[in-house]
Amino acid sequence: MVHIKNPILRGFHPDPSICRVGEDYYIATSTFEWYPGVQISHSRDLVHWRTVGQVLNRQAQLDMRGNPDSGGVWAPSLSFADGQFWLIYSDVKRLDGNFKDAHNYLVTAPTIDGPWSDPIYLNSSGFDPSLFHDDNGKKYLVNMVWNHLASMGNDHVRGAKFFGGILLQEYDVLSEKLVGNIQNIFPGSELGLVEAPHLFQRGDYYYLITAEGGTGYEHAVTYARSRDVSGPYELHPNTFLLTAQNAPEGALQRAGHGQYVELPDGTPYHTFLCSRPLPGMKRSPMGRETGIARCCWGEDDWLYLDHQKLEPATNVTPPELPSHPWPDPPVVFDFKSMNVLPPQLQWLRSPETERLFELRQEGLRLFGRESIGSLFEQSLVAARQTEWVCEAQTCVDFDPEDFQQLAGLTAYYNRTQFHYLALTRDPKTQGRGLVILSCADWPEARVSYAMADMVAVPEQGPVWMKLNIDHAALQFAYSLDGLSFEPIGPVLDASILSDEGVRGEHSNFTGNFIGMAAQDVTGRARSADFAMFKLDQKSADV
């Protein structure tokens, strides 16, 4: 029997919100600072999945210039009701200190492919909003409330938590705004850090799904229920539907934050996020990925995992649905034959793509903008790392005028975690040369050089660049003919390109990307042409 193999969405795909429409299953996942916002994946059998695209693709919907690393689009919630799709999302503008500045919006569309509407503003009281469509025709928004007073030391809030519970408020479709009283319906369990609420109805109960324990190794999916949408809510007999916190040797860790879905025959499944740490290390280069679990309903009307454990399984019994595989995603991107970038490739923060890149006969032209790691405008187009072992290659034609102009191949987690092989101009010799820039320095983001001297290359012609990642080791190479490659620089630490790589456990929220970059910190926007990009990833057992 063919099993569902977890993770089902490999590489950076956190906070999975699942929605069934007829025979089609869709999952929306967070994209944080990567543009366009909200990744949509599609399946017809829960085994095979494909990337459909991203929802928030224009300035009226999303502009993240200035958003911090791991800010931006958090925890989208996808649903289908009244003949259309509804998508709720947060745009988080601040992470540090006591405040979050999380603004919550709603967009709708007649089909999953759009067109998606301009956003309707909802609230900013906390993140992880979700829209619930009650059987009685009413709609409710739930989101966690952020308590910025938690660490101020005031007597009346001493001991309080930043995560202040789950709020519920009615949404009025005609006036396109939240109305009525705001109620705090659930404080969470003793694990704490309650977030990511989703509501659904079954029988006599409203079931409230939340995530708890933070995004690290104590993460969990918590269940509660009530006969009234506004509570009070009682906890599941096990508190959690799913968690890996007591299974530290399991292949899937940091499991939590998911949503319930039911097949037409009533069979229940549940999504969750998870990570695959490098063997022997608590470092997850692929970030938080999406898994799925088969469930069953107990005689007590509580949901349980089908295998009667709390930890998620890597191999899951599939539904009795016709097999529906999709074509394999591309390994080689030939930019000379493209009119638009495929959905596997994304960039950072900015909706003004014409300032960052364009597709031309010469290939993908990147316009050098701000420094690598800029929070505002940098030219970087990349794809997700999905496996521990992978090889990337590109060909760049670039004539830098001075050392402040660079272009090349990068493995990039965020502004404080990257390795970058760049073609530039040597300030000593004034000739073209190759340099490796690395950063593993939070919060200062100081860049170091992996080689003492630049490697000279001819003044004319393209340069081929390659990187190989094998678990925690990364090696760059280059070629002048595209056939014979020479290693360049030392073996670098690829484990820093992970959620836990610099700031420690569960401090970051994205995943490693591999792609092409161009910088021109003179402000002259010197361009670089990339003829192709190849990303070949070796599938692992887990």
Q: What is the pLDDT of residue 112?
A: 98
Q: What is the pLDDT of residue 538?
A: 85
Whether residue 78 lies inside any domain: the answer is: yes
Tokens of 458: 């001819």
| Shared-domain flag, residues 240 and 343 | no
3-state SS, residue 516:
strand
Choose one of 196, 229, 251: the last residue of a domain: 251
Q: For the chain, give the percent of residues with pLDDT over 90.
A: 93
* pLDDT above 80 for 394: yes
Confidence of residue 157 (pLDDT cuts 50, 70, 90): very low
For residues 58 and 437, what is the distance between their CA atoms, to the nearest angstrom? 32
Sign of the C-alpha dihedral, residues 54, 59, 60, 64?
A: positive
| Shared-domain flag, residues 477 and 385 | yes
Whether residue 82 lies inside any domain: the answer is: yes
Q: List pLDDT tens digits, range 183-213.
A: 999 999 999 999 999 999 999 999 999 999 9
Q: List pLDDT tens digits, range 411-459.
A: 999 999 999 999 999 999 999 999 999 999 988 999 999 998 999 999 9
Residue 165 φ/ψ region, left for φ over 0, alpha for ψ in the -120 to 50 degree band, beta for the rest: left
Confidence of residue 158 (pLDDT cuts 50, 70, 90): very low
Q: What is the pLDDT of residue 486?
A: 98
pTM for this one?
A: 0.96
Whether residue 374 lies inside any domain: the answer is: yes
Q: What is the pLDDT of residue 542?
A: 63
Q: For the chain, give the percent of residues with pLDDT over 70.
A: 97
The position carrying tokens 């966690």 is 144
Whether residue 89 lies inside any domain: the answer is: yes
Choose one of 251, 286, 313: the last residue of a domain: 251
For residues 396 and 466, what is the distance between their CA atoms, to the nearest angstrom? 11
For residues 341 and 326, what is the distance between their CA atoms, to the nearest angstrom? 19
Asked which of 18-27, 48-57, 147-156, 358-367 is least confident by mean pLDDT, the reply is: 147-156
Q: Read off the pLDDT of each residue in 283-306 and give the average, rounded to a whole number.
A: 97
Task: Name the amino acid, one letter, at 474.
Answer: L
| Shared-domain flag, residues 35 and 160 | yes
For residues 402 and 520, what is the distance between their CA atoms, to the nearest angstrom? 9
- Which residues have C-beta within 8 Å of that of residue 294, sequence separation ≥ 6? 4, 267, 268, 269, 305, 306, 307, 316, 317, 319
| Shared-domain flag, residues 337 and 245 | no
**b/e string for 408-417 if b means 16 or more Cβ within 10 A?**
bbbbbbbbbb
Whether residue 118 lies inside any domain: the answer is: yes
| Shared-domain flag, residues 380 and 523 | yes
| Shared-domain flag, residues 118 and 231 | yes
Q: List pLDDT tens digits, range 511-530.
A: 999 999 999 999 999 999 99
Q: What residues form DSSP beta bridges with 191?
A: none
Confidence of residue 260 (pLDDT cuts 50, 70, 90): very high
| Shared-domain flag, residues 202 and 69 | yes
- The enclosing domain of 496 has a CATH number of 2.60.120.200
| Shared-domain flag, residues 359 and 232 | no
* pLDDT above 80 for 506: no
Task: Name the amino acid, one letter, at 489.
Answer: G
For residues 105 and 296, what is the distance between their CA atoms, to the nearest angstrom? 33
3-state SS, residue 496:
helix
Q: Read off the pLDDT of each residue in 95-122 and give the average, rounded to a whole number.
A: 96
Active site residues: 377
3-state SS, residue 155:
helix
Q: How many domains does the chain have?
A: 2
Confidence of residue 503 (pLDDT cuts 50, 70, 90): confident
Q: What is the pLDDT of residue 504?
A: 74
Domain that holds residue 178: 20-251
| Shared-domain flag, residues 24 and 150 | yes
CA torsion angle for 201, 205, 210, 212 (degrees, to 10)?
A: -160
Choose one of 251, 268, 284: the last residue of a domain: 251
Task: Name the amino acid, one letter, at 127.
Answer: F
Whether residue 232 lies inside any domain: the answer is: yes
Whether residue 398 lies inside any domain: the answer is: yes
| Shared-domain flag, residues 227 and 336 | no
Whether residue 148 lies inside any domain: the answer is: yes
Confidence of residue 96 (pLDDT cuts 50, 70, 90): confident
Check: CB of residue 34 under 8 Å from CB of residue 41.
Answer: no
* pLDDT above 70 for 153: no
| Shared-domain flag, residues 360 and 472 | yes
| Shared-domain flag, residues 219 and 346 | no
* pLDDT above 90 for 348: yes
DSSP annotation of 9: B
